[in-house]
């Protein structure tokens, strides 16, 4: 089976799982406990926060809060700060941001504003800035879009937003960027969401990076873990596994990035142009390629590819729902419904091999041509 | 205190010489519904008693018995010694402490010293003396305390009547093959035929890879709900992908659905005969969609040669069907947003009144027998 849906989730880093098994069977204590065994875990968690943070941010300016997933991190940021005036985001957000914004709008809490996208999936920065004014309390811009791979220059956008309104809190969903793109957070970014399972970690572990001086309201109240910012007993095993998996990712991050760029090129060039149109831009993340078999339906190709041993995604969560069949993000890029209906999302990981890419090209071409013949 | 369940028949009492046949099926269905729960089932004249079960399984038994067709009502009763002191002790727990009530007594054991009327009078008086907010109303009471004196020195005391599923015992009215989609109507149609005593088996058409696995899972879930009423069922699935592709390639697009349905009915009839089903059942309702006009029904019906096609919902409004669907517990599953019939091939404007002449002309372009054969090769069977 060739697995090319790594933007959905990745295979957990096996070395990291083995090396941290002791946190399941030996060091299973509650880190908040007062005896030595518990207390020791507290200091290991502290090291873990600092390690995970140091890959992308300056420890003097930022701190790390463990959460259960990227969605939780996004929700805590949004519901914590988008409380008055207006809040601005983009049409290219993951549902974990888009839906809370819609919810806040429906509840009448804030005037939620959505900035349009450029054809390649990046936000139109000029139009985004035009939506920011003196009443803007919160801005959220996705770092790497999960469907198109489009990369937004969040450091630059954060600076421009702050220039327009220094009191605005700036958040970014970095779930598809952390551990994949080389970058450091600028200090204008206030909040940044991360998820473990997209880079060899386990499902159930996430992180919210926040600027140190920012008073983040707690979303879950209880035992006061994570400095009172996020109560709930820490997933020690998941966290420790995440640290090791991340270490591995960052040690080869640049090499992987370049290798996958070559794969992406090979992949997009290898696809039959009579069947597939590449939607992802050249500057997009090499980890995600969005293509459309215009006139065919992506989901059918997904099933056909599946039957032939290749797992890909369609990019939109509700593709089977007739009403929401077309991806909101693809339509926001300016594509028509026919294009949106034919979308396939192919996403790589550092484990992807060139053989797999070649085989996937062959199979996708074969099933695409076949389906086209069957349907016309 | 020991509890028993009293089960009362629905229409069964109407049956004369066939009664034995109906009762046998009814008993078997009750036993099947209570499978896995330790109990004994006793037949008495005009009713059944479930005895010797553990107190903690009562709720589960109620849930299961509610789905057995043929049951009119049932009651959870206390069993006690047949003397007034013991009966009074139990009646105190069954009886509410306020409101209007009456006592209804039945003396199965004629050796019991008091007559039915005397039992009611005596017990009513004792209850009034302990619960001062009770009033007697023999014509229109808000609840009734029932006392049943049985042979063998025992009495049953109960108050509540639980509504059963009514209908006829499944297995007494032959076997039918239900054409089940993932929609709201067909499960209700299957339920209604099972209610009249029919064994219902299910046939589902899918168009994988044009439809997805979730759509199939959904149908399995719907068929499982039908199975819970019809004492189990079998679900057969058949792929019509190839048929749709051929129609799409060769025939007029507005006739896609009409032509497809004719294939479905042909396949269904052949399969029904193969499994010894005596009819086809569909969830069609007149005029609900383009293919369910009288012309549409005529065109699909005309390929069925030997069996009747039963359409229990034909005169129902959508809302009536939805109400029933909610009641039998299939609605929530039915509205899950998975496409059950391939919309890739759906024409923009399906023919509302397809003419048989046109249909036959289009059908001649297809290798009907060959396509049916291929479809049968894709058949899968799931026991539910």
Query: What are chain A's domains?
Result: 14-250 (3.40.640.10), 253-375 (3.90.1150.10)
Judge whether B219 and B360 are in contact, CB under 8 Å: no
Residues B354 and B209 in one domain: yes
Closest by Cα among A272, A285, A292 to A335: A292
Q: What is the mean pLDDT of each run of 10 residues along chain A (376 residues)?
A: 97 97 96 94 96 96 97 98 97 96 96 97 98 98 97 98 97 98 97 98 98 95 95 97 97 97 97 96 96 93 96 68 75 94 95 97 97 86
Contact by Cβ (8 Å): B262, B303: yes
A303 touches chain B (CB under 8 A): yes
3-state secondary structure of A308: coil
| Across B235-256, average pLDDT | 93
What band does B109 get if pLDDT is binned at 50, 70 and 90? confident
pLDDT higher than 60, residue B79: yes
- Do the Cβ atoms of A320 and B214 come within 8 Å? yes
Residues B101 and B223 in one domain: no
Residues A303, B208: C-beta atoms closer than 8 Å: yes
> Do residues B192 and B274 both lie within one domain?
yes
B169 lies in a domain?
no
CA distance A319 to chain B (A): 9
Q: Is B136 in the same domain as B200? A: no
pLDDT (0 to 100) of residue B142: 93
Q: What pLDDT sits at residue B264?
A: 97
d(CA A324, CA A342): 14
| Cα angle value B271/B274/B278 (rounded, 5°) | 85
| Residues 6+ away with beta carbon under 8 Å from A316 | A147, A324, A325, A326, A327, A328, A329, A330, A343
Q: Which domain covers residue B366, as residue numbers?
A: 175-383
Q: Are residues B215 and B339 in the same domain?
A: yes
- pLDDT score of B342: 63
Q: What is the mean pLDDT of residues B178-190?
A: 95
CA–CA separation, A119 and A280 (whole Å):
9
At B341 the pLDDT is 62
Same domain, B243 and B368: yes
Q: What is the mean pLDDT of chain B?
A: 92
Q: What is the pLDDT of residue B321?
A: 96
Q: Diameter of chain B by CA atoms?
A: 86
| Residue B282 falls inside a structural domain | yes
**Residue B69 reports pLDDT greater than 80:** yes
Write down the pLDDT at residue A320: 45
B25-34 pLDDT per residue, tens: 999 999 999 9
* Interval B267-294 mean pLDDT: 94
For residue B339, the model assigns a pLDDT of 67
> Per the structure, how many domains does chain B have?
2
The answer to ipTM > 0.90 is no
Q: pTM for this structure? A: 0.84
3 state SS of B3 = strand
Residues of A in contact with B335 (CB under 8 A): none
pLDDT score for A318? 40
Is A53 exposed, middle or buried, given 0-12, 13-18 or 19+ CB atoms closer than 10 A?
Answer: buried
Domain boundary among B163, B186, B220: B163
Alpha carbon of A45 to those of A233, B6, B282: distances in Å? 12, 62, 61
Q: Over 80: is that where the pLDDT of B57 sits? A: yes
B124 or A376, higher pLDDT:
B124
Return the number of other C-beta atoms located less than 10 Å from residue B190's C-beta: 33
Please answer whether residues A142 and A114 qualify as being in contact, where contact means their C-beta atoms are separated by less than 8 angstroms. Answer: no
Q: Would the pLDDT of B349 be above 90? A: no
Q: Kindly identify which residue of chain A lies nearest to residue B243, measuring between CA atoms.
A: A374
- pLDDT for the residue numbered B282: 97
E strands of chain A, at which residues? 2-3, 62-67, 86-90, 111-115, 136-140, 169-173, 191-195, 206-211, 277-278, 288-292, 310-311, 343-347
Domain boundary, last residue among B163, B191, B211:
B163
Catalytic site includes residue A318: yes
Q: What is the pLDDT of residue B355?
A: 87
Instruction: List residues of B whose CB lies inside 8 A of any A CB.
Output: 208-210, 212, 214-215, 245, 248-249, 337-339, 343-344
The Cα–Cα gap between A344 and A330 comes to: 11
Residues of B in Cβ contact (< 8 Å) with A375: 245, 248, 344
Q: What is the pLDDT of residue A323?
A: 56
CA distance B204 to B224: 13
CATH number, domain at B103?
3.30.2130.30
Whether B182 and B240 share a structural domain = yes
Task: Look at residue B155 and tell me if it is in a domain.
Answer: yes
Report the C-alpha dihedral over residues A284, A286, A287, A291, rounded to 10 degrees: 70
Q: Which of A318, A341, A363, A375 to mutate to test the interface with B (most CBs of B within 10 A)?
A: A375
For position A362, what pLDDT does the model report? Answer: 98
pLDDT on residue B336: 84
CA B368 to the chain's CA centroid: 35
Indicate which CATH number applies to the domain containing B201. 3.40.50.620
Q: What would the mean pLDDT of B166-186 be, rounded to a whole number? A: 94
């Amino acid at each position: 089976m060739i697995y090319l849906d790594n933007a959905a989730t990745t295979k957990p880093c096996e070395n990291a799982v083995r090396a941290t098994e002791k946190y399941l069977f030996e060091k299973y204590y509650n880190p908040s406990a007062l005896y030595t065994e518990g207390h020791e875990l507290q200091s290991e968690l502290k090291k873990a926060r600092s390690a995970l943070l140091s890959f992308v941010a300056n420890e003097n300016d930022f701190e790390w809060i463990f959460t259960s997933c990227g969605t939780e991190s996004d929700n805590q940021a949004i519901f914590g700060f988008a409380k008055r005036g207006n809040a601005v985001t983009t049409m290219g957000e993951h549902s974990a941001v888009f839906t809370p914004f819609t919810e806040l709008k429906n509840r009448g809490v804030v005037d939620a504003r959505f900035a349009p996208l450029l054809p390649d999936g990046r936000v139109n920065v000029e139009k985004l800035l035009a939506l920011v004014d003196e009443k803007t309390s919160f801005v959220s811009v996705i770092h790497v879009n999960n469907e198109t791979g489009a990369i937004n220059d969040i450091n630059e956008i954060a600076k421009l937003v702050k220039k327009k309104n220094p009191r605005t809190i700036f958040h970014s969903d970095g779930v598809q960027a952390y551990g994949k793109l080389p970058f450091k957070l600028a200090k204008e970014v206030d909040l940044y969401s991360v998820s473990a399972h997209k880079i060899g970690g386990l499902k159930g572990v996430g992180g919210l990076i926040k600027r140190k001086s920012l008073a983040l309201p707690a979303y879950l109240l209880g035992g006061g873990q994570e400095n009172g910012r996020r109560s709930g007993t820490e997933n020690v095993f998941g966290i420790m596994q995440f640290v090791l998996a991340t270490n591995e990712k960052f040690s080869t991050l640049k090499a992987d990035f370049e290798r996958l760029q070559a794969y992406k090129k090979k992949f997009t060039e290898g696809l039959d142009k009579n069947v597939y149109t590449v939607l992802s831009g050249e500057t997009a993340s090499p980890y995600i390629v969005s293509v459309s078999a215009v006139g065919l339906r992506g989901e059918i190709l997904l099933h056909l590819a599946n039957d032939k041993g290749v797992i890909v995604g369609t990019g939109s969560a509700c593709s089977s729902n007739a009403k929401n069949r077309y991806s909101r993000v693809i339509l926001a890029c300016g594509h028509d419904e026919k294009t949106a209906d034919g979308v396939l999302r192919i996403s790589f990981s550092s484990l992807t091999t060139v053989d797999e890419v070649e085989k996937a090209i062959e199979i996708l071409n074969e099933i695409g041509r076949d389906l086209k013949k069957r349907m016309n | 205190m020991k509890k028993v369940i009293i089960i009362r028949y629905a229409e069964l009492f109407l049956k004369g010489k066939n009664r034995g046949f109906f009762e046998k099926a009814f008993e078997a269905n009750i036993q099947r519904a209570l499978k896995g729960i330790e109990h004994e089932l006793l037949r008495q004249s005009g009713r059944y008693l479930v005895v010797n079960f553990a107190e903690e399984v009562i709720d589960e038994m109620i849930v299961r018995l509610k789905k057995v067709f043929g049951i009119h009502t049932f009651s959870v009763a206390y069993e006690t010694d047949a003397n007034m002191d013991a009966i009074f002790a139990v009646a105190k727990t069954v009886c509410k402490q306020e409101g209007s009530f009456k006592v209804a007594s039945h003396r199965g054991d004629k050796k019991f010293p008091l007559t039915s009327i005397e039992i009611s009078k005596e017990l009513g008086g004792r209850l009034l003396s302990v619960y001062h907010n009770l009033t007697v109303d023999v014509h229109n009471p808000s609840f009734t305390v029932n006392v049943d004196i049985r042979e063998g020195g025992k009495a049953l005391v109960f108050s509540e009547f639980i509504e059963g599923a009514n209908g006829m015992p499944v297995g007494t009215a032959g076997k039918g093959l239900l054409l089940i989609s993932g929609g709201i109507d067909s499960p209700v149609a299957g339920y209604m035929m099972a209610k009249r005593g029919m064994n219902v088996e299910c046939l589902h058409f899918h168009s994988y890879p044009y439809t997805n696995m979730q759509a199939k899972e959904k149908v399995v879930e719907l068929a499982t709900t039908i199975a819970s009423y019809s004492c189990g069922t079998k679900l057969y699935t058949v792929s019509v992908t190839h048929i749709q592709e051929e129609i799409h390639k060769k025939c007029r697009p507005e006739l896609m659905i009409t032509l497809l349905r004719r294939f479905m009915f042909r396949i269904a009839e052949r399969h029904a005969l193969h499994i010894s089903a005596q009819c086809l059942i569909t969830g069609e309702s007149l005029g609900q969609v383009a293919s369910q006009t009288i012309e549409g029904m005529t065109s699909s019906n005309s390929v069925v040669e030997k069996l009747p096609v039963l359409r229990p919902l034909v005169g129902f409004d959508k809302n009536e069907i939805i109400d029933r669907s909610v009641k039998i517990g299939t609605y929530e599953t039915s509205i899950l947003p998975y496409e059950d019939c391939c919309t890739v091939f759906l024409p923009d404007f399906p023919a509302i009144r397809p003419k048989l002449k046109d249909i036959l002309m289009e059908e001649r372009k297809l290798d009907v027998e060959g396509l049916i054969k291929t479809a049968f090769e894709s058949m899968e069977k799931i026991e539910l």
